Structure 1
Amino acid sequence: MQYHQLTSEERFMFSLLRKQGCSVSGIAQQLGRHRSTLYRELNRNSCHRTDGAYRPSKAHRRALSRRYYSQRNTRFYWPEYELVESYLRERWSPEQVSGYLRLHQVLQISHETIYRHIWRDKRSGGDLWTYLRGSQKQRRKRYRSHDSRGRMGGKRHISERPKSINQRLHKGHWEIDTVMGKGSKACIVTLVERKTGYTLIGKMPNRTTEALNDAVLMLMCRYRSGRFKTITADNGTEFHQYQQLEHETGVRFYFATPYHSWERGTNENTNGLIRQYIPKGKNMASVTQRECDAIANELNRRPRKRLGYKSPIHCFLNC
């Protein structure tokens, strides 16, 4: 099946017939086009930033410009992209489109190329992005791309952590995370001991490195030395001053792989339990340290199946 953009003459005829009061469906029949093609033409090439009117000369220039930029440094041209768009508008994901076309030997196009086309279309005023399932935000991570957000030099990767920690053989090895609310910068920091599940919760006025370090030191000072040997964190910027904590406490920090939350599964699961007390969307400005301690105490006194139905506090203090 061949796909062709509207010609300049078709655009002028489209504009003229609209001014005469013809419906889009009726114009589509006269031009021998599908009505969705004309609706797409209106959505893409009308003057949305001014009065919303459709001007054929400007529409044609805009279409030619979009075609030029979509074809630079690529082996795919408008007919191929129009075919891809027809499936996207049926709510297919880029991966589904790519896989289907490859399976039927119609077109060899990667889903990454389709995503790039979608975001180019969005910058040009198109609406392809609205058909994505996660249409509220552009995808953050790209395969084989360099992610420069919050990079820290010299940090230890979780793969360097001793195997005994992975196997939960000894106490003293913790996972750490911050949990945000809404409506304020206030948040909490959670520390969970891997072997026993013992949990500590600290209130933070904001998610800065200073607030994080103050809260962690406050929680650690409640216990005698030796209770904290290692801490595994994610790659949040609030942990950028981890070396200060290492210097003051002797604890050793490790960092999980970006976007691998399962590497800190104990902490992630505990945060889910904490959400029973502090639901998503709650403004944490009103949460006090006393409340944080009370929540942690309840969690630490619950019997756990993996502990033989003993409580985390019993295993942490006695076992």
Structure 2
Amino acid sequence: MARKWDWAVRAAVYRELAAGRSALELESALGVAMSTVKSWAKLAGMEFMPGRIGGVRRMPMDAPAPAGAGRSYRRLTVSDRAFIQAARALRVPMSVRAIARELGVAASTVSREIRAHEIAHWRVPHYDAEVAHYRALARRPRYRPGKLDNPSLRAEVVSRLNTRFSPQQIAGELRIMFPEQVEMQVSHETIYQALYLQGKGALRHELTVVKALRSGRTTRVPQSKLPPRSSRPWLDGARLTERPAEVNDRAVPGHWEGDLVVGPENSGIVTLVERQTRVALLGRLPGMRDSQTVTGILAEMIAGLPAALTKTITWDQGTEMAGHASFTVKTGCPVFFCDPHSPWQRGTNENTNGLIRDFYPKGTNFNEISDADLAETQRLLNIRPRQTLGWRTPSAMLNELINSVALTA
């Protein structure tokens, strides 16, 4: 009869533990003290669960063990390991290379397996298939479900990313839509990590848009090093210092910022954005960028708005607005110009142009963009919830302003 310090008894203890039996049961069935079972489990790399009964964490023994990070060799099954155990127990043990040929794996896989899972018993190494498989499974990292593992929340996030919402916009809108459902809320940082850090951007594979986020830059763009521009006569009386003070705090609607987004073959679009509501308007240039053409397009873009919502436009010092005086006479909307190389003075428009470049990257020929496509881009820009608006949308805020102006007229 085998004694409790024989390897056969110790191997039986391991197999029974892996099968889910407690240390208390093994003490009764095999005559091995609970303290000994705990000690053996620790030496075998088994996670012993505390308590009066005791035992080890259960493992799905019919599952293949996980491959190590970056390794391409085949995962060994419990049957593979049983073959290794039998081959090593022969009167003349099979060589590592012979075992590898039988299993169809590299010799290094078998060698590494034996070295990793042999257990010394009275200084004699022993290999047991079930113990080895249990230990291999136990190395699998524990998985803690993440926020975006919730299918409903994940669908909401993916849908908004496909509509070109930023992670902050998504997080803000979900808090408004699901105020009482914490499981349907997620931080913008979690979305960023799901796109770029976890699983090699697994979330990005579910998107229909080319870029999940607006900016592809990894470093800041340095400020302009161009020399100061020469004096331009059309700036007289229209510099930023002469703009009404009410424009600065965005408390009064009707003040706009504008610029051109240009492409090859003299193509381009005129962009306008309202400072308070962030509403964007886009107008196509007909293959020309001269001042008469640009100011004509601008006049058409604001023609449908109430006069109370077209008080000023702020532009950079580009020559395309040299004829702004005639535009002001025609529309009643004065134009004011930023200082040289100071795009932050019309930062709302600069930000909007960055969003537009997400739809139309540099090099886009705007002569080839249809009016319907341009209108759809304008719509998508204006239905984005904005953090600065308390996660409301620009279009909703503009409609409220237009209605309020109509009621007071």
If the length of structure 1 is used for normalisation, what is the TM-score? 0.53
Q: CA deviation at 1:152?
A: 2.4
Q: For residues 233 and 251 of structure 1, what CA distance do their matches in structure 2 show?
A: 13
Q: Which amino acid aligns with 1:181?
A: G
Deviates more, 1:158-167 or 1:188-197: 158-167
Q: Which amino acid aligns with 1:251?
A: C
Q: Which residue of 2 aligns with 1:140?
A: 226
Q: Which residue of 2 aligns with 1:284?
A: 366
Deviations 1:243-282 (A, max 9, x none): 1110011112111001001000000000000011111111
Q: CA deviation at 1:287?
A: 1.8
Q: Which residue of 1 aligns with 2:282?
A: 201
Q: Which residue of 1 aligns with 2:375?
A: 293
Q: Which amino acid aligns with 1:296?
A: Q
Q: Which residue of 1 aligns with 2:241?
A: 159
Q: Answer yes or no: is 1:239 the counterpart of 2:325.
A: no
Q: For residues 149 and 189 of structure 1, what CA distance do their matches in structure 2 show?
A: 24
Q: For residues 225 and 155 of structure 1, what CA distance do their matches in structure 2 show?
A: 22
Q: Which amino acid aligns with 2:358?
A: Q
Q: For residues 334 and 368 of structure 2, what CA distance do their matches in structure 1 show?
A: 33
How many pairs are equivalent? 177
SS at 2:261 equivalent: strand
Q: For residues 250 and 298 of structure 1, what CA distance do their matches in structure 2 show?
A: 29
- Asked if the contact 1:202/1:289 (under 8 Å) is kept, the reply is no
SS at 1:276 equivalent: helix
Deviations 1:146-205 (A, max 9, x none): x327552524111222222110001100001001112x1011000000001000000002
Deviations 1:8-33 (A, max 9, x none): xxxxxxxxxxxxxxxxxxxxxxxxxx
Task: Return closer, same or farther for 1:286/1:242 CA change in 2, 3 Å cut-off.
Answer: same
RMSD: 1.8
The 5 Å alignment of 1:1-319 reads 140-141=226-227, 147-148=229-230, 150-182=232-264, 184-205=265-286, 206-319=288-401
SS at 1:202 equivalent: strand
Q: For residues 156 and 237 of structure 1, what CA distance do their matches in structure 2 show?
A: 14
If the length of structure 2 is used for normalisation, what is the TM-score? 0.41
Q: Which amino acid aligns with 2:338?
A: A
Deviations 1:34-66 (A, max 9, x none): xxxxxxxxxxxxxxxxxxxxxxxxxxxxxxxxx
- Asked if the contact 1:198/1:312 (under 8 Å) is kept, the reply is yes
Q: For residues 311 and 185 of structure 1, what CA distance do their matches in structure 2 show?
A: 33
Q: Which residue of 1 aligns with 2:100?
A: none
SS at 1:280 equivalent: coil
Q: Unpaired segments of 5 or more residues in structure 1?
A: 1-138
Task: Return closer, same or farther for 1:153/1:305 CA change in 2, 3 Å cut-off.
Answer: closer
Q: Which amino acid aligns with 1:223?
A: L
- Asked if the contact 1:301/1:313 (under 8 Å) is kept, the reply is yes
- Asked if the contact 2:255/2:310 (under 8 Å) is kept, the reply is yes
Q: For residues 150 and 252 of structure 1, what CA distance do their matches in structure 2 show?
A: 17
Q: For residues 235 and 292 of structure 2, what CA distance do their matches in structure 1 show?
A: 19
Answer with 1 or 2: which has the greater Rg: 2
Q: Unpaired segments of 5 or more residues in structure 2?
A: 1-224, 402-409
Task: Tell me which of the two structures has the higher relative contact order, counting C-alpha pairs closer than 8 angstroms and 6 or more residues apart.
Answer: 1
Q: Which amino acid aligns with 2:328?
A: E
Q: For residues 166 and 250 of structure 1, what CA distance do their matches in structure 2 show?
A: 20
SS at 2:307 equivalent: coil
SS at 1:200 equivalent: strand
Q: CA deviation at 1:316?
A: 1.3
Q: CA deviation at 1:223?
A: 2.1
Q: For residues 252 and 372 of structure 2, what CA distance do their matches in structure 1 show?
A: 29
SS at 2:344 equivalent: helix
